[in-house]
Structures are given as C-alpha cells and as structure tokens.
Structure 1
Amino acid sequence: MKRLIALAASASLFGCASVMNDSTHPMKVETLTPEGKVVAGAECKLSNDYGAISVKSGETAQVRRSSKDMDITCTTQEQPDAQARAISRANAGMFGNIILGGGIGAIIDHNKGTAYTYPTWIQLIFGQSLVFDRGDEKEGAPVSGKKPEPVAAAK
C-alpha cells in the first residue's frame, strides 16, 4: 500500500507523460500524386513551435511533441507542393495525470509538450492542402487527410 501511495505521489509531482513519453515520437510521412501513386524522396519540412526538421517522403521522422499543431510542406520538381497541418492531441500521459490528481504534472507535461502526440502516419497529396487529426488515427493505417474548414469572414 505504501508503494502505491509513493508511486501516485511521484507521478503527481513529476508528470505522468514526462515519465511515460519521450519529447519526440515517430511520424511516417508519405506523398502521393492526385491519382494516388506513391512518390518517394520528396523534400518535406515539418515545423511546430519547437522548430523545423526535414525528411524525405517515405521515411519516418522523430518529431518534437507539442500542444501546437504542426505545419508540413513537401516539394518535388515534378508536382505542385503538398501542404498539411497535423493536429496534436492529448495522449494517455495527460489522462494519467488527471486520473492520479497530478495537477502539477499536467501543467509540466503540457508546457513540455510530452502530453501530446501528432498522427503517426500521414499521406500528403501533391497540389492539395490537407488536415490530419490525431483523433482520427486507426492503428496500422495512415490517418485520412481532410480539406481544411473554411474560415468565416469577420464582420
């Protein structure tokens, strides 16, 4: 019983997601033509509030976790640019903080970004701008990209 109490206290002080998750996670980036043909080797730039990294399409990058969305642009000479936004969502570590009553841990993990995860497999389409939401992820399959919602004009 004492061990359980000590474990719960430790998790609430240090943050469950910080203990459970690295500051990065893998994201597979693929590119397709509008007809659905895979195009490997395109130059892709992934950026969020922690900086930018480059990866060739078809490869898996280690992306920095963040509560902020990630912008992605893939380019190749043969196709118009492929653009995307990857939506970050809270992961199990954040919920662990809430369940164990780790308010301090939740704040720490939110600020460090370790409580969040991007989609782990996306397929951008050249000539399109898509949104990939982590909430739509199904294990073993790429997340389906959606057209961005139109922004309402300010009155």
Structure 2
Amino acid sequence: MNRLWKHGMVVACVASITACASITGGRYQKVDVHSQTSSGVPITGAACALTNDYGTVNVQTPGTAKVHRSSTPLSVNCTKNGSTIAQQVYPASIRGMVWGNILFGGLIGIVIDFSNGAAHHYSKQLQVLGTDAGGVASAATLPGSPVAAAQAVDTKPAADAQPDANAPQPHEAQIATAMEPGGPASLDPRVGQSMFNAAQNVAAIQQCDRFIKVLEVDGQHAVFFTQCDGRPQKLHIECNGAECVPLLPPQS
C-alpha cells in the first residue's frame, strides 16, 4: 500500500510539472503574415518562408502560419514567381505571463518555458515590407500585377529608340539611388546584413516602421532613420557594426 502511494505521488508530480509548462500557452503560436510595398500597396500571393532555430514554416500572403516559439529572431523571406520581393526580421519578446509561472510551477516551470521556447513570442501581425526603389518590391513591377497607366507607357516605336552607351545600367541606377541620403538601407551595398538586421530589430522594438533608410554610412558606422506611427518625429538609429541603438531626434 505504501509503495502504491509513492507511485501515485510520482505521477502527480510529473503531471504538475507538465501542466506548469503549459501555463504560458504552449510552444507554438499563430502569426498573420501580410506583404506590401513601402508605399502601402498590398502584395498578394507571395510565398513566405518563416525561419528560426526550430525550422521553417511556409505560408502564402495574406495568410496565417503556426510557428514554434523561440528566443531567436524570426526571419521572413517572401518570393513571387521565383524572385525575392521582401525580407524582414522580427525579434522575440519574453511573455509577461512567464513570471506568473513562478507562482504555479516554481523554478521548474520557468526552466521548462525557457528551454522549449514557450517563454517567448513574436508579434501576432507580421507586415513584411518590400521597397519601391528599383521596382524590387513595387506592385507595379511584380509579375501578374496590372500594367502601368496609359500615360506612363512609352508608345514610341522601338526602332526609333537609340541606346545611350553612357547611360547607367538598371542595377547601377538602383544602387546609386540607394546610396543617396534617404535611400533604402536594404539596397545599399555599404550596409551589411548583420547591421541591417540589428537596425531593423531596434525599429521593431521601438514600434516603428522597419523600412529603414540611410542617413549616413562610414565604414562600420552608420545612422539610419524611419517613421513611427503616431509620432511626428523620426526615429534615428546609430549602428557600429551589428550593435545598434536608438537615438533621440536631433534638435531643430
């Protein structure tokens, strides 16, 4: 009888440990994924891959995906007809209810939540932004999009058009535009991927637009800016390599 009682206590303890791990809502969460150009034009039918250290989940925009929670950022890469049209990185946040788990599950519950990703979560709404610069993610240039307005179409016969040998190639024009002050950081060749991701993360934490633009770049030092909903002033972000911090807007 005593032995049976001990077995019952073990089962009860195991059940309580499992339960405390589920207090925060589990290891998975649903996220709504939408893609659009920087000017706000929706991009539908894009195939987006959502990746973190637990793997990759695919979804077509607009759509809902079920991802494994993690402490690492969620990288979103969207393509359409074989071409990349938008990329975004979303940081993970610690869920507020995790600390309440101490009352129910104690230290064991906290350890379980942090070890399986349940302690973290991503933004429920993922708005993946492309860029209009160079037409990379512009709705007017995406495959399957409506043709430009009639007044924007050059009706001059092709035979009359004389190529300018000194004119910059399309990709050169895109890079030149990106390297001007106010150009999109995603197209600036001077901005490394790690710096770009870090700056985007700062914008996300500050609840500002992740479509960051270049103010200046000098080697491993750069300053970016972006808009913030409901705020009249822009957010400035200073980066030294992959270390980025928000700055107060300059005094006018």
Q: TM-score range by the shorter chain?
A: 0.7 to 0.9
Task: Specify the alignment match of 2:126 in structure 1.
Answer: 122
RMSD between aligned alpha carbons?
3.3
Change (3 A) 1:14 1:26: same
Deviation at 1:152, TM superposition (A): 1.3
Task: Specify the alignment match of 1:4 in structure 2.
Answer: none
Q: Secondary structure at the match of 2:112?
A: helix
Change (3 A) 1:79 1:126: farther
Deviation at 1:102, TM superposition (A): 1.5
Once superposed, which parts of structure 1, at least 4 consecutive aligned residues long, lie more than 6 Å away?
9-12
Query: What percentage of residue pairs aligned between the two structures are identical?
Result: 29
Residue segments in structure 2 that go unaligned for 5+ positions in a row: 1-12, 132-185, 187-195, 213-223, 225-236, 243-252
- Choose between structure 1 and 2: higher strand proportion: 1
Task: Specify the alignment match of 1:63 in structure 2.
Answer: 67
Residue segments in structure 1 that go unaligned for 5+ positions in a row: 1-8, 137-142
Aligned residues: 140
Deviation at 1:151, TM superposition (A): 4.3
Out of 95, 104, 108, which is 2:99 matched to? 95
Q: Secondary structure at the match of 2:38?
A: coil
Asked if the contact 2:90–2:204 (Cα under 8 Å) also holds between the matched residues in 1, the reply is yes
* CA distance in structure 2 between the partners assigned to 1:29 and 1:47 by the alignment: 13
Q: Secondary structure at the match of 1:36?
A: coil
Structure-1-length-normalised TM-score: 0.72
* CA distance in structure 2 between the partners assigned to 1:72 and 1:47 by the alignment: 6
Task: Specify the alignment match of 1:85 in structure 2.
Answer: 89
Out of 92, 101, 104, which is 2:108 matched to? 104
Asked if the contact 1:15–1:106 (Cα under 8 Å) also holds between the matched residues in 2, the reply is no
Deviation at 1:115, TM superposition (A): 1.2
Letter in 2 for 1:145: R
Within 5 Å, give how 1:1-155 maps onto structure 2.
Answer: 13-14=17-18, 16-77=20-81, 81-99=85-103, 102-127=106-131, 128=186, 130-131=200-201, 133=204, 136=207, 144-145=209-210, 147=212, 151-153=239-241
Asked if the contact 1:87–1:133 (Cα under 8 Å) also holds between the matched residues in 2, the reply is yes
Structure-2-length-normalised TM-score: 0.47
Asked if the contact 2:32–2:65 (Cα under 8 Å) also holds between the matched residues in 1, the reply is yes
* CA distance in structure 2 between the partners assigned to 1:12 and 1:135 by the alignment: 38
Deviation at 1:85, TM superposition (A): 0.9
The structure whose Rg is larger is 2
Q: Secondary structure at the match of 2:100?
A: helix
Asked if the contact 1:89–1:135 (Cα under 8 Å) also holds between the matched residues in 2, the reply is no
Deviation at 1:78, TM superposition (A): 9.4
Q: Secondary structure at the match of 1:105?
A: helix
